[in-house]
Amino acid sequence: MGTITPESIVGDLRYLQLLSRSFPTIADASTEIINLEAILNLPKGTEHFLTDIHGEYEAFQHVLKNGSGAVKRKVNEIFGHTLRESEKKELCTLIYYPEEKLQLVKEREQDLEDWYQITLNQLVKVCQNVSSKYTRSKVRKSLPKEFSYIIQELLHESSIEPNKHAYINVIISTIISTKRADDFIVAMCNLIQRLTIDLLHIVGDIYDRGPGAHIIMDTLCDYHNFDIQWGNHDILWMGAASGNDACIANVIRMSMRYANLATLEDGYGINLLPLATFAMDTYGDDPCSIFAPKMNFADGEYNEKTLRLITQMHKAITIIQLKLEAEIISRRPEFGMENRKLLHKIDFERGVFMYEGKEYALRDTNLPTVDPADPYRLTDEERELVDKIHASFMNSEKLKKHMRCLFTYGGMYLVCNSNLLYHASVPLNEDGSFKHVRIGQKEYWGHKLLLKTDQLIRTAYFDEDCEEKRFALDYVWYMWCGPDAPSFDKDKMATFERYFIADKELHKETKGYYYTLRNRADICDNILREFGVEPGPHSHIINGHVPVKTIQGEKPIKADGKLLVIDGGFSKAYQPETGIAGYTLVYHSHGLQLVQHEPFQSRQKAIEEGLDIKSTTFVIEFNSQRMMVKDTDKGQVLTTQIRDLEKLLVAYRIGFIKEKE
């Protein structure tokens, strides 16, 4: 119990009085100490890190279901050579997709009762394995209410003991005879999935590009234990949900670029009809060829007429975006982005763009809504359209629900178990020192900069209308494309140039010094210290944001293992660059592993053909001694709780606090 004297607890008496309400007797406090001490000596739970999911909901959900290959590995460990490979594959598919797989089994299985008997026994063994590193209490809290008692009996009894063998068989036979086998199998499979991943970290960029960001958010909102470090695309959507019209225009433009209308229309009920009508009226005879969506996304999903309409809408919202961004740039000269107002540099008569003394031919010269005399003014029709879309974003209940989830479980960075997680960058100077960034009247850098930008994003969404909120609203847009924004950290976002100028020299976006300096171990150590993490063999920075070009030999492990970049290309748009289809970083009691995923075929093929994601595992760190809960952040919290309970015991025993009946 250590040396806790009466004198040492006098100052804590008010707190201990409050604690005594939860533990009103010596017996209660002692039992809790025993319970917490036991938890400290369990193996640490498995953490999974994912980043840059970009709406690829089928691949994301499958990775959660298969625990990045952990379920398959456990099935192999448990059943080894006692099951054929095809039988193990069938069992894994059942665990991933129980409802769908049961339907297929019923269509082909001739002796269903025998199949139920075998399968339920197999699921019990898998469930016993995955639950072994948790307390009974934690497992019990994870159980579905209707089967809680039965599952507990099955998990904590051994079929090896002769007296228990018949007992377990009777339970399973009764489940089958009472026609509850299907529901029980679904409950067991979901429990296995849940217990395989103890904590899920999403290191940014849930949104844009892929078709189902809203489905990913639905999954996360109901997930048992997770956190999110906001990526630049998430912040863009947060800005849109806060009412920043430039962010709204960017969100819609990205959706048109990747022919992804599902998230806006089906997910959030955003009414795109006014934009479609405006685009058809304005660009009816315009081929808008440079605004055709990326075909690897649109291919086969839309007919020619719909693709034509998306192309026109894409052009319409791009021009509106350029005007809306110019309004912010003019309103906020302190952002230093005057050089990103480019429409006035167009010679409309000659169809050329004038930039730094050179002329560049425009790829598209039909700009009927741009007035050469006042190029940044929205036409009356454009202003009316912006107001309608704005109202649609503000009135989406589903969007509000998902934003609340992002704010509640998210932030700009997180420190967890000696790992520092943030999506993109901590801006640096060329010499490796932290870059000082002026926001309002003050300068911020390093840790303080991420704290300040986190606070501004929250202010933009939650505050009532005032000057502070108006500034924060504009700053959320700056977070998307501002040179000194930690979520961006490039000299410019070349949206205009990429659309309108053929010369790729103007498309270049120069990254900040962070992206080269992060390869140095000493720089990573400085950043870790800045965020209160003592550099050591098990301390890491975990980033996403920049796809790792595995196909070109680039490695995700940098700075002698201090920094891990785990954007491996969940987004199909990046897969030609990366050559793979995403990474999962897995941190369990034996160490740190990087799981490299091949492209996911489809949910349907996974169910019907048992096609799992092919994954390759690389061991980054291996601990010969298992890491226990006491070695984690949670362990420190529990140790503090134990110390407080020990003080409460002393207070009871010397009469400072009276036990309650």
Per-residue exposure over 293-315, b if at least 16 CB sit within 10 Å of its own CB, e if not: beeebbeeebeeeebbbbbbbbb
Between vectors from CA 115 to CA 113 and to CA 121, what angle results, nearest 5°? 105
Distance between CA 583 and CA 49 in Å, rounded? 9
Q: pLDDT value at position 18?
A: 94
Residue keyed to tokens 């699921």: 123
Q: What is the DSSP string of 455-500?
A: HHHHHHHHSPSSHHHHHHHHHHHHHHH-TT-TTT-BS---HHHHHH
The Cβ of residue 139 has, within 10 Å, a number of other Cβ atoms equal to 22
Rounded average pLDDT over 454-483: 96
Q: Is 35 exposed, middle or buried (0-12, 13-18, 19+ CB in 10 A)?
A: middle
Closest listed residue to residue 481, CA positions, set 326, 363, 257 = 326
The pTM assigned to this predicted structure is: 0.92
User: What is the pLDDT at residue 152?
Assistant: 87
> Quick one: tokens of 485?
């924004």
Given this model, what pLDDT does residue 529 score? 98
**Alpha carbons 629 and 37: distance in angstroms, whole number:** 10
Q: What is the DSSP letter of 589?
A: T
Longest CA span, the chain: 93
Sign, Cα dihedral of 417, 422, 428, 431: positive
DSSP string for 96-144 = HSHHHHHHHHHHH-S-HHHHHHHHHHHHHHHHHHHHTTS-HHHHHHHS-
DSSP state of 276: H
Sign of CA dihedral 189, 191, 195, 198: positive
Q: pLDDT at position 392, please?
A: 98
Q: What is the β-pairing status of strands 591-597 and 615-622?
A: antiparallel
Give the per-residue pLDDT at 461. 97
**pLDDT tens digits for 295-348?**
655 445 788 899 999 999 999 999 999 999 999 999 999 999 999 999 999 999
Mean pLDDT over residues 253-279, rounded? 96
pLDDT of residue 296: 55
Which residues is 628 bridged to in the sheet?
A: 43
Distance set, CA 497 to CA 48, 279, 339, 507 (Å): 38, 22, 13, 6
Q: Compute the residue count for the chain.
A: 661
Question: At residue 634, does pLDDT exceed 60?
Answer: yes
- Residues in a beta bridge with 358: 355
Average pLDDT on 626-648 reads 94
Residue type at position 206: I
pLDDT at 158: 62
**Apex CA 53: angle with CA 276 and CA 396, to 5°?**
45
Query: Torsions phi, psi of 138, nearest 5?
Result: -65, -40
The pLDDT of residue 449 is above 70: yes
Answer yes or no: is pLDDT of 144 > 90: no
Task: Let me know: does 604 contact 633? Beta carbons within 8 Å.
Answer: no
Give CA–CA dist 565/583, Å, rounded: 9
Kindly report the average pLDDT of the chain as a whole number: 92
Q: Which long-range contacts (CB under 8 A, 24 or more apart) does 340-347 make?
A: 340/481, 340/492, 340/493, 341/376, 342/496, 342/497, 343/370, 343/375, 343/376, 343/496, 344/375, 344/376, 346/370, 346/372, 346/375
Structure letter (DSSP) for residue 43: B
Q: Helix 232-242 and helix 467-481: axis angle, to 10°?
A: 150
Q: What is the 3-state secondary structure (H, E, C) of 544-582?
A: CCCCCCHHHCCCCEEHHHCEEECCCCCCCCCHHHHCCCC
* Helices 148-155 + 162-177 axis angle, to 10: 150
- Of 80-94, 362-376, 515-529, least confident by mean pLDDT is 80-94
Lowest mean pLDDT among 289-298, 403-412, 524-533: 289-298
Do the strands 583-588 and 47-50 form a parallel or antiparallel pair, or are they unpaired? antiparallel
Query: What pLDDT score does 499 carry?
Result: 97
Q: How confident is the model at residue 452 (pLDDT cuts 50, 70, 90)?
A: very high
pLDDT score at 6? 83
* The residue to which tokens 């976006």 are assigned: 509
Helix (H, G, I), strand (E, B) or coil at 301: coil
The beta-strand segments (E) located in 366-479 are: 410-411, 414-416, 419-421, 437-439, 442-444
Q: Mean pLDDT lowest for which of 221-225, 365-369, 602-606?
A: 602-606
Q: List, in order, residues 6 or more apart from 658 with CB less than 8 Å away.
A: 652
Instruction: Please name the residue that has the structure tokens 């806006």.
Output: 264
pLDDT band at 147 (very low <50, low <70, confident <90, very high): confident
H or E segment to which residue 194 belongs: helix 181-196
Mean pLDDT in residue range 136-164: 79
Residue 645 to residues 5, 18, 362, 375: CA-CA distances in angstroms?
A: 14, 12, 73, 69
Asked if residues 567 and 52 have their Cβ atoms less than 8 Å apart, the reply is yes
- With a cut of 90, say whether residue 138 has pLDDT above it: no
- From the list 317, 247, 305, 304, the residue with the least C-alpha distance to 278 is 317
Instruction: Give residue 623's pLDDT.
Output: 80
Is pLDDT above 70 for 12? yes
- The mean per-residue pLDDT over the stretch 622-637 comes to 90
pLDDT in tens, 400-419: 999 999 999 999 999 999 99
Check residue 157 and give its pLDDT: 67
CA dihedral 432, 434, 435, 436 (to 10 degrees): -150
